[in-house]
């Protein structure tokens, strides 16, 4: 079965040949960086509708991590258009961070629709480099559908641990690699090289739960679930939170 993977990867590349031509010419990445937020917003609406119940349950205990100040300071990495804002508690101070400047206009629209929050700014940065945020300064961090994009999950999680205050929490929901013996994993390997170009760096075959298990968290609450969105290679998910 594994012998077929390189062959089918080649077939997949032929099906989207114009993308690879633009990549060769150096035109794809700057073009897609501008267009990707628009298509991601469209996909996110379907995604968050289908997983609304799971996200609502995930964020149900946010208030448990309120700091000594009496308010819950929150930093969301890979904030995108702010699809998670509706789940955050009233009066919560929120800072959004994203490496793509083109998401900001969509984010501002969502901020206007979520007046229950105190939005305190947008930081243009990647999850691997949170140097603008001081050590132990945040009660809670959130990253949903983020770790699939980053170049090095381990570096991001070390930054998360650095930024969180002791006892603070990192909430996550990520699509991950399926069981290696499954047909789903076979097709994830086939699609992955092309998917990364179409998905702005998103990988289908990351075993992100291993990174979370190996990081220096005092407690990890992690569950594997199957997304109700059928006929996609991103049905295998992990969901939960980790405490510093």
Provide the mean pLDDT of the chain.
Answer: 91
Q: What are phi and psi of 186, to 5 degrees?
A: -55, -50
User: Over 90: is that where the pLDDT of 187 sits?
Assistant: yes
- CA atoms of 196 and 194, how far apart (whole Å): 5
Tokens of 15: 């099906």
Phi-psi region of 233 (alpha: psi -120 to 50; beta: other; left: phi over 0): alpha
In this prediction the pTM is 0.92
Q: Are 94 and 85 in contact (CB under 8 A)?
A: yes
- Listed by start position, the domains of the chain span 4-243
Quick one: pLDDT band at residue 1, thresholds 50, 70, 90? low
Q: Are 127 and 156 in contact (CB under 8 A)?
A: yes
Of residues 36 and 148, more confidently modeled: 148
Q: Tokens 């009496």 map to which residue?
A: 70
Quick one: pLDDT band at residue 67, thresholds 50, 70, 90? confident
User: Over 70: is that where the pLDDT of 232 sits?
Assistant: yes
The fold for domain 4-243 equals Rossmann fold (3.40.50)
- CA atoms of 76 and 96, how far apart (whole Å): 5
């Amino acid at each position: 079965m594994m012998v077929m993977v390189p062959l089918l990867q080649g077939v997949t590349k032929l099906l989207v040949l114009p993308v690879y031509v633009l990549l060769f010419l150096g035109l794809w990445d700057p073009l897609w960086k501008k267009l990707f937020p628009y298509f991601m917003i469209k996909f996110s609406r379907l995604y968050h509708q289908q997983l609304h119940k799971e996200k609502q349950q995930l964020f149900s205990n946010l208030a448990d991590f309120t700091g000594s100040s009496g308010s819950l300071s929150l930093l969301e990495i890979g904030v995108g258009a702010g699809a998670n804002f509706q789940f955050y508690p009233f009066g919560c101070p929120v800072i959004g961070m994203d490496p793509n400047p083109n998401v900001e206009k969509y984010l501002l629209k969502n901020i206007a629709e979520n007046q229950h929050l105190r939005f305190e700014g947008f930081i243009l940065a990647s999850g691997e480099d949170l140097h603008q945020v001081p050590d132990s300064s945040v009660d809670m961090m959130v990253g949903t559908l983020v770790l699939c994009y980053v170049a090095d999950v381990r570096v991001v999680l070390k930054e998360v641990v650095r930024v969180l205050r002791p006892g603070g929490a990192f909430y996550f929901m990520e699509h991950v690699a399926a069981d290696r013996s499954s047909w789903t994993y076979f097709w994830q390997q086939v699609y992955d090289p092309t998917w990364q170009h179409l998905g702005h760096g998103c990988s289908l075959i990351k075993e992100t739960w291993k990174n979370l298990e190996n990081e220096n968290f005092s407690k990890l609450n992690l569950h594997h679930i199957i997304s109700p969105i059928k006929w996609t290679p991103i049905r295998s998910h992990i969901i939960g939170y980790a405490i510093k």
